[in-house]
Amino acid sequence: MAEEPIRLSSDVGTLPGIGPRSRPHFVHLGIATVGDLIKHLPLRYARHLDESSIRDADQLVPMQDGAKSQGVIAVRGEIAALRAPPGPQRGGRSRIEATLEDDSGRVRLVWFNAPWLKQKLHPGSRGLAQGEAKRFHGYLEMINPKWTPLEEDEAPSAVTAALRPVYPASEDLSSQKIEKAVAAILDSAVPLIVDALPEPIRHARGLLPLGESYRRMHRPSSEAEAKEARHRLAYDELFLLQLGVMLKRWHLRTTASATALAMSATIDERIRRRLPFTLTPDQSRVCAEIAKDLGQTTPMNRLLQGDVGSGKTAVAAYAMLTAAAHGAQAALLAPTEILAEQHVTNLRAMLASSDVRIELFTGGRKTKERAAALERLAAGEVDLAIGTHALLAEGVHFKNLAVVVIDEQHRFGVAQRAVLRERSSRREGEKAQSPHVLVMTATPIPRTLALTVFGDLDVSTIRHGPPGRSPVTTKWVPPQAAGEVYRWLAPKLAAGERAFIVVPAIDPQGPDTEMVLADVQTHLEMLSRGPLAGHRLAAMHGRLPAAERDEVMGRFRRGELDAIVATTVIEVGVDVPEATVMIVEHAERFGLAQLHQLRGRVGRGSQPGTCILIGEAVTDEAQRRLQALVDTTDGFRVAEMDLEIRGPGELVGARQSGLPPFRVADLMADLDLLRLARQDASELVAGDPALTRPEHQLIRKKLLHSYGEALGLADVG
């Protein structure tokens, strides 16, 4: 029987050497087909030696002094002792001496003039010494052996001194087994790999063909070869994402149309009069940028970034009121109910004497109320719809939605943005009607993300917040000092100041939890019986009914409460200018960006704010996080430090973006490559915006397959 020809879609179970027992182990690692196997790339490479040349130390050499081993042999073991006197020794040569131990005995390793080895050798490190051994004064000795460090239980095997791939493996499936499986199919599979990258781009950028890249990734003859292959694969990932972003941007601009909301001096003046303060120069500039966008029939797609407390809400109000001025609807999407409720309260106050109709949409509302509100929304009897993601739900219809604002964008994903746009779009003749979209974030977006996930957005920035702010002082104290903190707080509350006290848990923890965390109720009771007795305290967390939360926030705002003991539900957006003190218990448990947000709840009025982080530096990272907050109040700097501390793997927003993660590309390290890919993608889209040319069919298919859903590209082509 002739063997089935191999295909990329062939099941790994049909490959020689992979039986029904090992197949599930492959599948577990995401390898179901030959194509998956080819895409399962090595993490790194190691140089290994021929197993057959490895000896036990006691078998190396005959016992007589001066006896030599037969040729080059290898011993595998652990460094038991190390002597590396600094500087040159007698005869001007530096000398390093180590004792290598295996199960059978010991060999002395001596290196002359190899000072760089000092960094590689430590007592306890494992490795392979390769050279000629001899007896010297009864000791076994190797002079200037070749040293190859080995992982804990890494076994050197097969091929000699070649670069060997080290694959992501599992307990059941070793890297070696994966290597064997790849080796068995690589040569027949590589010719089957279709390169979707348009040839002119590949040429212009001097990139390897795709199949060749995979071959070299799995079986490089040098590190440089592997690097070149990696470069090509990283380019592919970046190019594909950029192509998606560019296409979406182009598509939106040309196929969707928005209601043009022309700004006039009269409207501008009327809106400004409604605001409780004069806009700062930065706010004014951003409003002008927005007004210009709103005046077009191309839908606005703008990102507003500005630190916590910089005054983004007023800008949002400006955009929404522009819609209302034209008799169109606007929606404001907030990440939490509390924030949505606050926006409603503020807008109602601002618009009290106007006929603008405001409606709150949250998951917490009663079904009947909700149904009635939805009806009003669909009938156009609501001008400003404020809500949480409940506004994204199926069954929410607007009559003529013209402006959408998404507050604290980092809490939403790109996909959600797409959903909202889709929900609010209507088809009208040739073009889809889409609202103008403004997304706001207090978390400055790193350059890399600005180019990728948010690559389709125009960006406005508020750099300077409203004047008259006193900066917030941040202190970090250990848990033992908590009592002192509250004793310091009590007289302040008595003098009319207001405080937030944040704890990590809502409910008391069971007695079996290893660390007792402060919870809202227990902490509140402890404080009101102890250091804050006689002061008016209330609890706040996400599980309270909306009405109760409203009531608590209202009392706090009016000064009928002195302090709120809360979870991080108050983290985002909550604005009570009279609050001056923020105390965070177990601060080490919160992220840097989160703590910065919490701190942003105070120092919003004319009174100076204080933020006290009560926390223990349980890890090095926690220590750096807490210290970073003490060191700076600048949100852009905080975001940078956050990146430095957490590393690129956790890029703000990338995780929530809903985009498939890169396998090869590294957004931090490959920034230059990203720029090239962006340029190439932009040129390609400019020349063939719907990707209809025959030579672009492969890349189009690949794009829709990879990013179609995440980027909402379903309608492309």
Interacting residue ranges for Mg ion, rule: CB under 5 A: 573
Question: Strands, DSSP E only, in 216-294?
Answer: 256-257
Over the window 258 to 277, marking each residue x when it contacts ligand ADP by CB under 6 A and - when it does not, the resulting string is: -------------------x
- Picked from Mg ion, ligand ADP, none, the partner binding residue 12 (CB below 5 to 8 A depending on kind) is none
Strands, E, within 189-241: which ranges?
none
- Cβ burial of 253 (10 Å; 0-12, 13-18, 19+) is middle
Tell me the residue ranges of DSSP E strands in 590-661.
610-614
Number of residues that make up the chain: 717
CA distance 630 to 579: 20
In the bound complex, what is the minimum distance in angstroms from residue 503's beta carbon to ligand ADP? 23
Which residue's CB is nearer to Mg ion, number 564 or number 574? 574
Least separation in angstroms between CB 629 and ligand ADP:
17
Residues 403-442 that bind ligand ADP (CB under 6 A): 442
In the bound state with ligand ADP, the residue whose beta carbon lies nearer, of 122 and 558, is 558
The residue within the footprint of ligand ADP, chosen from 197, 279, 403, 489 (CB under 6 A), is: 279
User: Measured from the CB of residue 560, what is the shortest distance to ligand ADP in angstroms?
Assistant: 19
Q: How far is residue 432 from each of residues 251, 542, 715, measured CA to CA in Å? A: 11, 38, 11
| Residue showing the smallest CB distance to Mg ion in the complex | 573
Residues 6+ apart with CB under 8 A from 529: none
Stretch 304-323 residues interacting with ligand ADP (CB under 6 A)? 306, 308-314
What does 466 interact with, of ligand ADP, Mg ion, none (CB < 5 to 8 A by kind)? ligand ADP
Q: What angle do CA 175, 178, 183 make, to 5 degrees?
A: 125
**Interacting residues of 453 by C-beta distance below 8 A, sequence separation 6+:** 414, 653, 654, 657, 659
Question: Residue 505's Cα: distance from chain center in Å?
Answer: 24
CB nearer to Mg ion: give 575 or 688.
Answer: 575
Q: Which of residues 564-603 bind ligand ADP (CB under 6 A)?
A: 573, 575, 577
In the complex, the smallest distance separating the C-beta of residue 266 from ligand ADP, rounded to whole angstroms, is 21
Q: Which listed residue (175, 257, 283, 441) binds ligand ADP by CB under 6 A? A: 283
Task: Please say which residue, 442 or 453, places its beta carbon nearer to ligand ADP.
Answer: 442
DSSP per-residue letters across 575-595: --TTEEEEEETTGGGS-HHHH
Report the partner that residue 309 touches, choosing among Mg ion, ligand ADP, none (CB closer than 5 to 8 A by kind): ligand ADP
Q: How far apart are CA 74 and CA 129, in angstroms?
A: 5
Asked if residue 609 binds ligand ADP (CB under 6 A), the reply is no
**Residues forming beta bridges with residue 538, ordered by sequence position:** 564
For residue 63, count CB atoms less than 10 angstroms from its CB and return exposed for 0-12, middle for 13-18, buried for 19 or more.
exposed
| Residue number, 278 or 619, with CB nearest to ligand ADP | 278
User: Counting Cβ atoms within 10 Å, is residue 107 exposed (0-12), middle (13-18) or buried (19+)?
Assistant: buried
Contacted entry of Mg ion, ligand ADP, none for residue 145, CB cut-off 5 to 8 Å set by kind? none
Position 685 contacts ligand ADP (CB under 6 A): no
Among 80, 85, 73, 69, which residue's Cα sits nearest to residue 106? Answer: 80
Q: Is 185 in the site for ligand ADP (CB under 6 A)?
A: no
How many residues in the shown chain lie near ligand ADP by CB under 6 A? 19
Minimum gap (Å) between residue 605 Cβ and ligand ADP: 7
Q: How far apart are CA 711 and CA 245, in angstroms?
A: 7
Indicate whether 280 belongs to the interface with ligand ADP (CB under 6 A). yes
Q: How near is the Cβ of 413 to ligand ADP at its closest, in Å?
A: 20
Q: Name which of 131 and 573 has its Cβ closer to Mg ion.
A: 573
Q: Which two structure tokens, joined as six digits, stand for 199?
A: 């040839």
The distance of closest approach from Cβ of residue 572 to ligand ADP in the complex, given in angstroms and rounded to an integer, is 9
Query: Is residue 466 involved in binding ligand ADP (CB under 6 A)?
Result: yes
Rounded to the nearest whole angstrom, what is the least distance from the CB of residue 275 to ligand ADP in the complex? 8
Beta strands in 181-328 (DSSP E): 256-257, 301-306
Contact at 8 Å (CB) between 570 and 502?
Answer: yes
Q: Which residues bind ligand ADP (CB under 6 A)?
A: 277-280, 283, 306, 308-314, 442, 466, 573, 575, 577, 604
